[in-house]
Every structure is written in structure tokens, then in C-alpha cells.
Amino acid sequence: MKNYINILCIGAGYVGAPTMSVIAQKCKECKVTVVDINKKRIEQWNSDTLPIYEPGLNEIVTSVRGKNLFFSTEIEKGIKESDIIFVAVNTPTKEFGFGAGMATDLQYWEKAARQILEHSESSKIVIEKSTLPVKTAESMERILQKSNNGIRFDILSNPEFLAEGTAVNDLLNPDRVLIGSKETKDGLKARKKLVDIYSNWVDKDKIITSNIWSSELSKLVANGFLAQRVSSINSISALCEVTNADIKEVAKAIGMDSRIGSKFLNASIGFGGSCFKKDILNLVYICKSYGLDEVAQYWENVVNINIYQQERFVLKMIKSMFNTLASRKICILGSAFKANTDDTRESPALFIARKLVEEKVELVISDPRALNNTKLSLKDLNESISYIEDPYEASIGSHAIIICTEWDKYSKLDYNKIYKQMVKPAFLFDGRNIVDRKKLFEIGFNVFSIGKSDLTHY
């Protein structure tokens, strides 16, 4: 008789693989297999060079891989052998047909559900790990109920709240784990099994339960609220720039109010990442489909302000560099959507890069981790862009530097050295407010920050 719980995760991406690595490390009674249709990705998970960069992840993967954590492309076999299946496939914004540009594209998720139905030979708990529209569990149940050979599928919603760059810590010390289930006898039994798994390392009072729909909706709303804070502070940054107020001082003053709190008040060139925009647009789409137009409009404005912030940044560059950027060499420092990740999905740096190429800029992009993904994302423009990892080399002969990602190293560069090798007047646009702007101004740079008055020599 087997004495372990067989866990399968469908989808070996930024969520599936780190989450399963932590479950394997913390639950020795579980055998965890992560499968993916992407053969190359699975090969990388089985190699010394993991397919994603995430601080601390390598150590965890190597401590359990081949013991109770396995990466494989054998999806059918994995489904057959599993007791519990997490579905962590991608759920991007739909790019075609009804709801294009707003609704969630459920094709990957639906295919996974159908594969589960086709290959299951025993009853299973199926867990939504992907972020999904409210009521998706109901559709999954409908698909899976087509089985008439006595196999039961209990559906749970267990959204993931990790953030990239801090994923390992977020998984080891989550603020909360949310599990949504039906309130039926079988639903509660399935819920308990998942609670027991998390209880191996998460305090019981941090494991919260709800009905399935609250759980699905809470994930969308959590991302909505986080993104809303960024858009709120970014909207005020525009006002600071014209009134000589300083956004950092304003953020500090409001953040010390315990009702507001200090987190997620860093003004920036806008939020990026694969989820904020897509999840808010999904929320907007759901509201619209229920006729809640005012609610939809409210949330859509969070995305609109984000677009405004990025466009505003480029316009400010053009204006401050004497209304033309054509043939100027400009160096972007940082293309990842935030520090400590190699992920460039929806990165504001890519938006800015595209706009600068349209302005006929000679563009150089530098990043310590994300250059491969950047090249892939901008492959249609690769003739107009050079990629140089070393920031000193990248900035030689440039008219302007733009800091797009808050990598720690960019606040500590030798800006004296960089200034000397730039064309004068030298411009620095700090899209993350991480440099010592007064010092840079004294060196000779014209310095432009977010939500602060400009420091110019002309």
C-alpha cells in the first residue's frame, strides 16, 4: 500500500514550479510531480540552469529534486498516478473574438481540465492554482462531471499570492493561504486534505477558508487593490512634478497613517508584470458582463492611469531633450518588470523601448538578469536595439540614461565614471527614484525623477 500523497501540478511556470518545490520540501509524505507541455522548460527544471531566476529557488529545487520532486512531460502518466492535481497553467488576456483585450483566455486551462477528465482512472481533488474568473470552478466541475465511470472530482480554489523576486519567502511565510471549497461533506473533506498539506509549515490561523467564488474573486480583488495603490501614488506624482511637492515625502506622510500603511506607495514608471493588468481587465470584464458599468469603469481607470504614467514619462523625455530624440543614443538600465526577476512580461521598460524606437533613438538595453527575455519580447525590433549587460559599457557615448528597474546595483553605480563617458548635456531619467539625485546633479547630470521637480543645468 502506498504511504505517500501523489501530487501533480500541471504548468511548470513562475507559479507552478516554485510552489511545488516548497510543498515537496515541507511535506515529505508527498511525492510531487510538475508537468508541462513545454519540453525545453522541463529540461531546464531538470538541469543546473533553472528556466526562471528567483532568489533562493535554486537551493530549494536542488534539495528535493529527484527525491520527492520531479519535473516531467509525461502529463497522462502524471494524471493517472495523482491523488491531488494543482492546475497552474497560464491564463492570459484573450486576444481574439468576444472579450478580446479584456476577458481571460481560458484555452490552456480548459485543455488541462479535459486532459484530467480523459486520463483519470481514480477520484481526485483538482485545485485551481491559476488566477481565474469568478465561477470558473463551476465550469471545471461541469467538464469533469462528464465522467460516468464512478470517478469523483472535488474542485478547490487555492489562489497564489506570491510576488516574483520574493516568491520563495512569500511561499515559506505567506500572509495567508486561501482555500475555497463547496460547503458539502465532500467539499469540506477535500478542503481538509489541502489544509493538512499547508499545515506542515503555515500557522493554522493563516490558513483561511471560504466558498469557492469568494476565493476566486479575492485573488482578482487583491491584485486590483495592490495595483490601485500604485496608480493612486503615480497619479499624485504627476501633481507633485508641477507643484514642487515631493512624492516620497507625500508617500511617507500618508503611509504613516496606520489606516493607509506604507507598502506599495513607491511612485514609478508604472506597474508591470504578467498579472496586474490582466487580472484587473478580467475584473472589469466580469463587472461589465453583470451590467455593473460604474464598477467596471472605476477599476479600468487603474489601468488607464498606468498607461498614462508610462506615456507621460516618454513625453517628458522628449520635451526635456529639446523635442527630438532622433539619432540620440539612449541607454535603458533595467528591463525586468521589477528587481530580482528575469521576467519582462508587461514591463514598462518594453513600452518605453518601443516608443523610443519609434522616435528613431539608437537604443541600448542593459539588465543583469532579463536580457534573454527582453530580446525575445522585442525580437521584432532587434535591429534597432543593442543589448549590453554591463551598465558602464552600455552607457558609453549615450545622451541619456533611463532607470526602468530598481535593481539595487543601479543605485550604487559610479555615476562620475558614467557621466565622463556620456555626451553632454547628459540626462538621467530615474523611473524608480533610486539614485541620489542631488549628488548626480552636482556631478553635472540633468536629473528627472518621478514626482519630484526637475534638476536641470539649463
Minimum Å distance from CB 134 to ligand UGA?
15
Q: Which of 82, 231, 266, 335 binds ligand UGA (CB under 6 A)?
A: 266
Q: Report the DSSP beta bridge partners of residue 430.
A: 403, 449
Among ligand NAD, ligand UGA, none, residue 271 binds (CB under 5-8 Å by kind):
ligand UGA
| Count of residues engaged in binding ligand NAD, rule: CB under 6 A | 27
Strand, coil or helix: 126: strand
Per-residue DSSP letters for 238-272? HHHHHHT--HHHHHHHHHTSTTT-STT----S---
Q: Which is nearer to ligand UGA, 24 or 230 (CB)?
A: 230
Contact of 40 with 154, CB cutoff 8 Å: no
Strands (E), 255-399: 329-333, 362-366, 385-387
Q: Is 9 a catalytic residue?
A: no
Binding of ligand UGA at residue 275 (CB under 6 A)?
A: yes
Q: Report the DSSP beta bridge partners of residue 155.
A: 126
Minimum Å distance from CB 343 to ligand NAD?
7
Radius of gyration of the chain (CA): 24
Contacts of 235 (CB under 8 A, 6+ apart): 305, 309
Strand, coil or helix: 71: strand
Among ligand NAD, ligand UGA, none, residue 451 binds (CB under 5-8 Å by kind):
none
Among ligand UGA, ligand NAD, none, residue 413 binds (CB under 5-8 Å by kind):
none
Among ligand UGA, ligand NAD, none, residue 268 binds (CB under 5-8 Å by kind):
ligand UGA
Binding of ligand NAD at residue 112 (CB under 6 A)?
A: yes
Among ligand NAD, ligand UGA, none, residue 16 binds (CB under 5-8 Å by kind):
ligand NAD
Q: Which of 105, 164, 300, 342 binds ligand NAD (CB under 6 A)?
A: 164
Strand, coil or helix: 326: coil
- In the bound state, the residue with its beta carbon closest to ligand NAD is 13
Strand, coil or helix: 366: strand
Q: Exactly one of 275, 287, 331, 404 is catalytic; which is it?
A: 275
Q: What part of residues 253-312 is at the interface with ligand NAD (CB under 6 A)?
A: 274-275
User: DSSP code of 118?
Assistant: H
Inter-axis angle of helices 57-64 and 16-26, to 10 degrees? 60
Catalytic positions, please?
275
Q: Which positions touch ligand UGA (CB under 6 A)?
A: 131, 160-164, 223, 226, 230, 264-266, 268, 271-273, 275-276, 337-338
